[in-house]
C-alpha cells in the first residue's frame, strides 16, 4: 500500500495531534483528524506559550518527597492535591516518587535534552511551511530568584543543563534591572537562556495549523471516540470509521484509549492555571520564570499571562480559580506596578506521566497504532518534534533518536 492509499486517523486536535497530522500529510498520507471539539478552547490554546528547550529537568527530582508537605500547606504554594482524589492519584504518585532518584533523574534529563535538541528547528520549519513564522518570538528566556541562596539551591540543575550543551548566562540584580525594568527588588539574581522562544498566542498557532490541514485536504471530524480496536473506531454519536493506522494524541485522556489496545498507563492531569491581564500596567519583554515560586509570566499578544501551579484533582472536578488568584498575588511581589484588574482566568490539563517524559511509541499489541501524548509541561515545546517522529515511525523510517525512554510499556 502506498502512502497515498494509507488512511491514517489522528485522535486529538491539540497541538500534538495537529503536528502529527501536519507531518503525516506532508509525508503523503490520507489523514483524518478527529476531536470531540476541534475548535474548542483546550489545553493547547491557553498555555504559557513557551518553546522551552532549556526546561529539560524532570519533575520527580531527588529530594522532592521532602518538599511536597511544605508545598501542600502553603496557600500560595505551587502544588495542591484534592484529598478526595488521592486514592485515584496513588498509582501515578508512587511511580513519581520512585522516579525521584539521581540515576533516573539524570537519564530523564538526558532523554529530554536529546528529544528537544531539534525542537526550535522543528517549530521554525513547520511555521515556515504554514506561512506563520511571525507567531514565534525568538526572545531569550529569563529565570529569576529572590536570593543567591535560592539560586544556589538550583545550581546543580543549571550545571546539568550546561553539561548537555544548553545556554545559561548568570545575571545579577543590575543585569535583571537592565533587561526587565518592571521587575522590582524581589528579583535579585537569575539566568538568561537563549534556548527559549515563546508564541504570542498559542491558540493562533493551533487555529493556523487546523486551517492549513483543512485547506490541504485533511478530513476534520467532530466526534468523541468511545470505542477502538485495531481497524476501526466508534464515536459517542454512533459514527463508525475505519483506518489503516491510528495515532492517539488525546492529551490527558489518552490512557483511556491506549488501555483499549492493552496499553494501560498511569497518566494524570496536572491541572494548571493562569490569568491574562489585558492592561497589566507594566511592559515586559521576556518570558520570565519565577523559579522559587514556580510560576511564569509571558508577554502575549493579548496581554500579560501569569500562570503555573500544579493541581491534582482529576479530569472532571470544576476549576478552582483561587489558584489563578494566588499566582497573581505572587506576581505583585515581583512587579510593584502590576495592574491585576480585568484578567481572564483559565485552566488547562497537562497530560502528565510519572517520570515527566512523553510517550512516543507504537502499541505493543497493535503495530498499526501509535502513541503521541504525555508531554506534561512541555507539550507545545515538543509538539513539532513529536509530530515529525510519529510520521517517521509510520513510514518505517529511523527517527535518529533513541525512543526507549519514551516507550509506552515503561510503567508496567
Ligand X SMILES: Cc1cc2nc3c(=O)[nH]c(=O)nc-3n(C[C@H](O)[C@H](O)[C@H](O)COP(=O)(O)OP(=O)(O)OC[C@H]3O[C@@H](n4cnc5c(N)ncnc54)[C@H](O)[C@@H]3O)c2cc1C
> Residue 125 is inside which H or E element, if any?
helix 119-130
Query: Scanning residues 77 to 96, which ones bind ligand X (CB under 6 A)?
Result: none
Q: Which residue, 302, 312, 244, 341, is CA-closest to 78?
A: 312
Does 219 interact with ligand X (rule: CB under 6 A)?
no
φ/ψ of residue 377, rounded to 5: -75, -5
Residue selected from 253, 334, 371, 406 as contacting ligand X according to rule CB under 6 A: 253
Number of residues engaging ligand X in binding (CB under 6 A):
42
Q: Please, which residue, 6 or 43, has the CB nearer to ligand X? A: 43
Q: Please, what is the Cα angle at 287 between 212 and 72, to 5 degrees? A: 105
Which three cell numbers mark 134? 511571525
Residue 13 C-beta: closest distance to ligand X, Å: 5
> CA end-to-end span of the chain, whole Å?
34
Residue selected from 78, 108, 251, 343 as contacting ligand X according to rule CB under 6 A: 251
Does 388 interact with ligand X (rule: CB under 6 A)?
no
Q: Which residue, 95, 127, 371, 393, is CA-closest to 254?
A: 371
Task: Compose the 347-386 pattern: x for residues touching ligand X by CB under 6 A, - for all others.
Answer: -xxxx---------------------x-xxxxxxx-----
Beta strands in 213-356 (DSSP E): 219-222, 225-228, 232-235, 240-242, 245-248, 268-277, 287-290, 295-300, 303-312, 344-352
Sole window of 14-22, 24-32, 144-152, 313-321 interacting with ligand X (rule: CB under 6 A): 14-22
Q: Which residue, 143, 63, 139, is CA-closest to 97?
A: 63
Q: Please, which residue, 58 or 188, has the CB nearer to ligand X? A: 58
Residue 170 C-beta: closest distance to ligand X, Å: 23
Q: Distance between CA atoms of 204 and 166, rounded to whole angstroms?
A: 28
Sole window of 100-108, 245-253, 276-284, 393-401 interacting with ligand X (rule: CB under 6 A): 245-253
Residue 233 C-beta: closest distance to ligand X, Å: 9
Query: Scanning residues 125 to 154, which ones bind ligand X (CB under 6 A)?
Result: none
Q: Distance between CA atoms of 53 and 219, rounded to whole angstroms?
A: 32
Residues 6 or more apart whose CB falls under 8 angstroms from that of 146 comprise 186, 187, 188, 292
Does 224 interact with ligand X (rule: CB under 6 A)?
yes
Residue 2 C-beta: closest distance to ligand X, Å: 28
Sole window of 72-80, 89-97, 208-216, 268-276 interacting with ligand X (rule: CB under 6 A): 268-276
> According to DSSP H, which parts of 231-356 are helical?
254-258, 322-334
Sole window of 132-140, 181-189, 250-258, 337-345 interacting with ligand X (rule: CB under 6 A): 250-258
> Residue 141 is inside which H or E element, if any?
strand 141-145
Q: Please, which residue, 188 or 212, has the CB nearer to ligand X? A: 212
Task: Compose the 30-59 pattern: x for residues touching ligand X by CB under 6 A, - for all others.
Answer: ----xxxx----xxx--xxxx-x-------
**In the complex, which residues of this chain contact ligand X (CB under 6 A)?**
11-17, 34-37, 42-44, 47-50, 52, 224-225, 249-253, 272-274, 307, 348-351, 373, 375-381
Amino acid at each position: 500500500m502506498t502512502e497515498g492509499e494509507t488512511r491514517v486517523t489522528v485522535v486529538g486536535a491539540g497541538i500534538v495531534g495537529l503536528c502529527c497530522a501536519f507531518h503525516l500529510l506532508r509525508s503523503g498520507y490520507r489523514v483524518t483528524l478527529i476531536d470531540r471539539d476541534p475548535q474548542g478552547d483546550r489545553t493547547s490554546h491557553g498555555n504559557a506559550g513557551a518553546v522551552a528547550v532549556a526546561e529539560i529537568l524532570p519533575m520527580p527530582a531527588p529530594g522532592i518527597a521532602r518538599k511536597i508537605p511544605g508545598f501542600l500547606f502553603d496557600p500560595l504554594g505551587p502544588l495542591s492535591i484534592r484529598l478526595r482524589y488521592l486514592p485515584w492519584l496513588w498509582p501515578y504518585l508512587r511511580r513519581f516518587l520512585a522516579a525521584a532518584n539521581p540515576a533516573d533523574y539524570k537519564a530523564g534529563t538526558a532523554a529530554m535534552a536529546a528529544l528537544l535538541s531539534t525542537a526550535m528547528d522543528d517549530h521554525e520549519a513547520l511555521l515556515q511551511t504554514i506561512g506563520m513564522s511571525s507567531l514565534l518570538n525568538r526572545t531569550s528566556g529569563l529565570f529569576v530568584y529572590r536570593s543567591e541562596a535560592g539560586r544556589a539551591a538550583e545550581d546543580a540543575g543549571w550545571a546539568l543543563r550546561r553539561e548537555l550543551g544548553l545556554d545559561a548566562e548568570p545575571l545579577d540584580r543590575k543585569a535583571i534591572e537592565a533587561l526587565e525594568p518592571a521587575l522590582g527588588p524581589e528579583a535579585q539574581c537569575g539566568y538568561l537562556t537563549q534556548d527559549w522562544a515563546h508564541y504570542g498566542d498559542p491558540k493562533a498557532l493551533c487555529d493556523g495549523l487546523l486551517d492549513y490541514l483543512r485547506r490541504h485536504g485533511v478530513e476534520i471530524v467532530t466526534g468523541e471516540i468511545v470505542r477502538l480496536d485495531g481497524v476501526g473506531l466508534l464515536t459517542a454519536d454512533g459514527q463508525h470509521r475505519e483506518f489503516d493506522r491510528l495515532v492517539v494524541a488525546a492529551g490527558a485522556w489518552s490512557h483511556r484509549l491506549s488501555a483499549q489496545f492493552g496499553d494501560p498507563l498511569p497518566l494524570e492531569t496536572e491541572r494548571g492555571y493562569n490569568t491574562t491581564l489585558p492592561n497589566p500596567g507594566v511592559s515586559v519583554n521576556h518570558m520570565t520564570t519565577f523559579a522559587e515560586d514556580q510560576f511564569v509570566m509571558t508577554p502575549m499578544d493579548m496581554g500579560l499571562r501569569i500562570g503555573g501551579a500544579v493541581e491534582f484533582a482529576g479530569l472532571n472536578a470544576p476549576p478552582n480559580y483561587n489558584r489563578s488568584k494566588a499566582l497573581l498575588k505572587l506576581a505583585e511581589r515581583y512587579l510593584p506596578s502590576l495592574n491585576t484588574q480585568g484578567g481572564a482566568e483559565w485552566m488547562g490539563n497537562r497530560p502528565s506521566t510519572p517520570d515527566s517524559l512523553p510517550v512516543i511509541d507504537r502499541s505493543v499489541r497493535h503495530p498499526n497504532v501509535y502513541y503521541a501524548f504525555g508531554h506534561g509541561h512541555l507539550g507545545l515545546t515538543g509538539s513539532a518534534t513529536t509530530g515529525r517522529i510519529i510520521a517517521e515511525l509510520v513510514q518505517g523510517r529511523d527517527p535518529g533518536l533513541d525512543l526507549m525512554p519514551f516507550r509506552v510499556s515503561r510503567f508496567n
